[in-house]
Chains A and B, each alone.
Chain A
Amino acid sequence: MSVTLDIRLKRANKVYHEGEAVAGVIVLMCKEALQHHGISLNMEGSVNLQLSSKSVGVFEAFYNSVKPIQLISNNIEVAKAGKIPGGKTEIPFEFPLNTKGNKVLYETYHGVFVNIQYTLRCDMKRSLLAKDLTRNCEFIVHCQVISVFTKHGTARSLLPKFLIKGHLDATNCVISQPLTGEVMVENSDVPIKSIELQLVRVETCGYARDATEIQNIQIAEGNVCHSLAIPIYMVFPRLFTCPTLETTNFKVGQ
């Protein structure tokens, strides 16, 4: 007596904005009629913080993960206890993506010490003999107005003599748009091997502040032609970047 439970969102890319409704169907597939004690759907959004081992000891870091901050929580009962006929059953649902009180929805983000995640969980309770069924489904929240704060440097001079100039088109970037700019090698005594662009995030949990690499891409390989502008172009990886965030408990910056 097998039964499968699945959550299918209407949007293929699973991206939602605040105020929109998260809609979809719960799909139940079973060969014969099935008795159950109620199906419920739960929407949750939370920020998980983990302390860096730099600021506290390893063990503390392991145990002391800070209590998650709940952003949104919503529960509805999809079906009361009863029977489901055999075959495929689809139960549509819809959640408004609204926060209660003064809470703010943050953009979905998977970082090292900070994780912002939104999930839908569907539970089907069953009689004592059969196990309860659970299904999780993550969806992604995009915030409407977003920006990333980025610093940039120009013309540095280190041991071998060289002069490299460059600029970024904007220091405030829209996260869905790529980071663009230019860099130009004016001269260099030593042949250049490679120019790389590193995207770093700074996460702050409480007192700990950590910078970790998100992505590193090469924009020039080999000894490039001097005084020829080389484009800087990077698409922000989805989920692993988020707009600069500052809250009382944690901060994320790039």
Chain B
Amino acid sequence: MMDGTDPLSMFAAANETPAMAHSTTTGDLLRKRREKEEEDVGADFVPWSSKRGEILARFTTTEKLSINLFMGSDRGKALSPGSSAVSDKVRTRLEELDDLEEGSQKELLNLSQQDYANRIEELNQSLKEAWASDQKVKALKIVIQCSKLLSDTSVIQFYPSKFVLITDILDTFGRLVYDRIWTMCSDSQILPENFTSEDVNDTAKETCLNWFYKIASIRELLPRLYVEVAILKCNRFLNKSSIQEILPRLTAMIRGIGDPLVAAYARAYLCRVGMEVAPHLKDSLNRNFFDLLGTFRQISGESVQNQLVVQRVETPEYLTLYSPAINWILQCIAYRAPEPLLTEMIERCKTLGNNALLLNSVMRAFRPEFVAARATDFIAMIKDCDESGFPKHLLFGSLGCSLSSADPPESERLTILNEAWKVITKVRSPQDYINGAEIWVEFTCRHFSKREVNTVLADIIKHMTPDRAFEDAYPQLQSVIRKILTYFHDFSILFSMERFLPFLDMFQKDSVRVEVCKSILEVFIKHQVELTRDPVILNAMLHICKTMHDSVNALTLEDEKRSLSLLIIGFIRVVSFGRDFEQQLSFCVEARATFCNLEPVMVQLIHTVNQLAMETRRVMRGNHSRKTAAFVRACAAYSFITIPSLSSIFSRLSLYLLSGQVALANQCLSQADAFLKAAVSILPEVPRLISVEGKLRSSESFLLDFINSFMATLLVVPDHPEHGVLYLVRGLLNMVQDYTWEDNSDAKVRVYIGALPLLAAMSQETFLYSVPKVDSNETLYGGDPKFLSEINKLCETLIGQILDHLKILGREEQTTRRQSTLAFSLFNVLLAHGDLRNNKLNQLSVNLWNLSHKHGHCETRFSVRTLEHIKHQAQQLDMAHLSDTVQRLALQSRT
């Protein structure tokens, strides 16, 4: 171990990653130390798996690919030395294998990239199958053939992706071999996590050695190398120290690979496995890198250049093919490496020609803090680079990536931005331009004010508008918006950027535009905590919301509508004009016109207006002036004309009720009357089934709830002078009677039972509750006997209807339970609201009690509780008559 990681920092590192540390309960200190040494790859090491997808997505091709597999064709050379006269046993074994693979030499041509990936996946599967069915040699052959594919550099643009696909297979193979040997060891006892080669039994060691011998006799260099690297981890079973010799040997072996690209990727794979198996052996990582530098001159060499000409690939594009490999190697080296080593690496890169590629990788792989601290140096180096090899804007892109996560010294920031932008703005191709610009937007937003960001936006608009170049760059443009939103939370500043809205105008594809608007609104709702009336914000946001709203059409999904509505509602909630209520109302009027297609928004607007009316009332302390009275009437009018546009019947009903209550509270009697009348008039429209969360459900319970709360409001609503007594109550009950209830439903009777307490309350001299400054019926009629007799008549009719229904229920066996429940609830209502001194009523209630207990469906617990309650009541003044009643109420026998 040559690197200078001191024990302290190593200790700290191990502490940082407690998830990685295994059971520390084993008291063995020595063992623990070893563990820590071995596991110094912490969670902060970006794993290969996260690079995979990126590489696969980036290196694609439309060229046709081919797979060339010679299964079993050269096995004689590859697997059996001494091919000409092998012993009988070996020969028969080989013949067996021949049978398995006879004629499987195949070449697949004209594969698209997807086909290719599928083929490789098939191979991966057949590898697993072969392994599972104990055909180890076949498995090895598959792996060898796959790694041979890596020497093929036709369609070179695809090479990095090919590498990813094939190394997946190699990884699978490595795992299979390791697990197999592991289970061989675990026959007698399970190996501890940190076992050494002494714990391994001989059979396992022998098997392991056999693998290595077999692989050592593979004829071709590349498969021999890759397959050995794949099972490198198995060295643990043989010898602890051998890995120290193997890594340098394999590193040296790669020198034999002529193609620099193939060699670079082989190195990347070696480093990848090396980091996994022996992360403490940094030496061979460095060796790999220096060897790589040594072979760098080959790129400009004749054979590579010839190949590029044949494949029609430009040098800059070719160079980018190296970056994943070099990035990875450098990342392995830079991981927890001391500063001097990194500086040395940079020095080495500087001295080489064609170093732009390296510089790029250095910036990508080294710690961002390290790069940021030397940003000015890097800019100087970038300037010195040879323009032809590797485009400078890519270099600045990499630098920008580092700078977006680490800060350069404050004094240098502006210079850095200027230098970078100078290069980026000169890039001709819009695609290259936007890729670079997108990265640097982050840096600009992080460190500079809206002025600079505005300039950047202006520049982007200037570049992307010609020829509608923005159409191909939506993802990047979206990312620009995202970055700006991350740093600018003050929307008054954001919208005061002159170029922000024009920038939004570049999103001309509907789906993208809505996406962007949504992201803006999300941030707005999250960060705009204070209420606002800023005209700049309101205008811009209204514009954005309108864009979203206008995207809604017949094909829009319900979920999408809902999420759009939620966002717009979030915006409406933040808007407040303070005491300027009229302004607020006119905003609501405007919003209604703008968002007419989104029902939840309409509902929210009605709520807002209602709230506005109540707010006015609060401000005026309940005494409206002429002006405010007119205003609240305007509010009521707003609600009244908005509600009918809603399609959901229950939102309409509840909003009518709510608005009616608000109007009543604001002494707008005729308006309140109109609301309630409207509610009653639409009652027959309520469908029997409504859809709740996508399921059809009976509307009955919702309707009952609504009617009950509606009746509670009716108590305080004064009768209309032109209509008769209890006009609304009658109207409601008529509607209930005419409504087509579900068959076999007691709902109607329930409503009747529910209406009795209302009527009882109305017959009181003073009502239970009232609305300030509104004269209810109590004052209007003042306990007029005519009024009371009306109520009595009504009650009689209702009770008559209920009793009729109970009779009908008594006819059938299966409805007696319902009868019992209804009778019991009517009994309760009479008990609570009726005057039981009246003999007739008293007799009726006793009958009801008996009826409800007749068939034994009554809950005894409730009955007992009710009896106790009555006894308790009877002890109170004026209630002595109840004690007689109690005597007559018999409990159901418990049998």
Question: Which A residues lie at the B interface, using CB under 8 A?
Answer: 11-13, 110-113, 115, 178, 191-192, 195, 199, 212-225, 228-231, 233-235, 237-238, 240
Contacts and interface: CB of A to CB of B under 8 A. Distances in A.
A224 B219 contact: no
A222 to B, nearest CB: 2
A51 B521 CA distance: 91
A15 to B, nearest CB: 10
B469 to A, nearest CB: 41
B414 to A, nearest CB: 44
B86 A224 contact: no
A218 B219 contact: yes
Interface string B212-245: 1100111111101000000000000000000000
Contact of A13 (B86, B202, B224): B202
A221 B257 contact: yes
B205 A230 contact: no
Contacts of A11: 202
A213 B217 CA distance: 13
22 contacts: A12-B202, A13-B202, A13-B205, A13-B209, A112-B82, A215-B81, A215-B82, A215-B217, A217-B219, A218-B220, A219-B256, A220-B221, A220-B257, A220-B258, A222-B258, A222-B259, A224-B256, A224-B258, A230-B256, A237-B82, A237-B217, A238-B213
A228 B206 contact: no
Interface in B104-156: 151
Contacts of B205: 12-13
Contacts of B220: 218, 221
Given A217-B218, A228-B294, A230-B256, 19 more contacts: A12-B203, A13-B202, A13-B206, A112-B85, A212-B82, A213-B84, A218-B219, A218-B220, A220-B256, A221-B222, A221-B256, A221-B258, A223-B303, A224-B258, A225-B255, A228-B291, A231-B249, A231-B252, A237-B82
B801 interface: no
Given A12-B206, A235-B216, A237-B213, A229 B255 contact: yes
Interface in B250-271: 252-253, 255-260, 262
- The residue in A13, A217, A229, A233 that gathers the most chain B C-beta atoms within 10 A of its C-beta is A217
B77 interface: yes
Contact of B81 (A225, A229, A230, A237): A237
B298 interface: yes
Contacts of A238: 213
B245 to A, nearest CB: 11
A192 B86 CA distance: 33
Contact of A222 (B86, B203, B249, B257): B257
A216 B294 contact: no
B256 A214 contact: no
B77 A230 contact: no
B295 A228 contact: yes
A222 B258 CA distance: 4
B213 to A, nearest CB: 6
A240 B205 CA distance: 21
Nearest to A231: B252
Contacts of B209: 13
For this complex, into which size category does the number of interface residues on chain B fall?
A: 35 or more
Contacts of A213: 83-84
A228 to B, nearest CB: 6
B87 interface: yes
Interface in B424-463: none
Contacts of A219: 221, 253, 256
Contacts of A212: 82, 84-85
Nearest to A115: B87
Contacts of A115: 87
B213 A224 contact: no
Closest 4 CB pairs of A and B: A222-B258, A12-B202, A220-B256, A235-B216
B253 A225 contact: no
Contacts of B218: 217
B199 to A, nearest CB: 15
Nearest to B207: A12
A240 B81 contact: yes
Interface in B288-308: 291, 294-295, 297-298, 301-303
A111 B258 contact: no
A57 to B, nearest CB: 18
A233 B224 CA distance: 12
Contact of A111 (B85, B203, B256, B302): B85
Contacts of A113: 85
- The residue in A113, A192, A224 that gathers the most chain B C-beta atoms within 10 A of its C-beta is A224
Contacts of A235: 212-213, 216-217
- The residue in B203, B224, B256 that gathers the most chain A C-beta atoms within 10 A of its C-beta is B256
A113 B301 CA distance: 48
B151 A221 contact: yes
Contacts of B203: 12
A208 B256 CA distance: 38
A166 B219 CA distance: 20
Contacts of B212: 235
Contacts of B259: 221-223
A194 to B, nearest CB: 8
Nearest to A219: B256
B256 A195 contact: yes
Given A11-B202, A225-B295, A231 B255 contact: yes
Contacts of B298: 223, 225
A219 B252 CA distance: 11
A214 B217 CA distance: 10
Contacts of A231: 249, 252-253, 255-256
A192 B294 contact: no
Nearest to A178: B216
Contacts of B253: 219, 231, 233
Contacts of B206: 12-13
A221 B259 CA distance: 8
A90 to B, nearest CB: 18
A112 to B, nearest CB: 4
- The residue in A219, A223, A235 that gathers the most chain B C-beta atoms within 10 A of its C-beta is A223
Contacts of B201: 12
A154 to B, nearest CB: 18
B217 A110 contact: no
Interface in B65-115: 77, 81-87
Nearest to B77: A216
A16 to B, nearest CB: 14
A191 B303 contact: yes
A225 B258 CA distance: 6
Contacts of A220: 221, 255-258
A230 B257 CA distance: 9
Contacts of A215: 81-82, 217
B200 to A, nearest CB: 11
Given A221-B256, A230-B255, A235-B216, A214 B221 contact: no
B765 to A, nearest CB: 106
A222 B216 CA distance: 20
A234 B221 CA distance: 11
Interface in B6-64: none
A237 B216 CA distance: 8
B256 to A, nearest CB: 4
Nearest to B262: A222
Contacts of A216: 77, 219
A224 B77 contact: no
Nearest to A217: B219
B255 A110 contact: no
Contact of A224 (B222, B249, B257): B257
A241 to B, nearest CB: 8
Contacts of A229: 252, 255
A195 B202 CA distance: 37
A213 B84 CA distance: 9
Given A11-B202, A231-B253, A192 B219 contact: no
B227 to A, nearest CB: 13
A65 to B, nearest CB: 12
Contact of B255 (A12, A13, A223, A228): A228
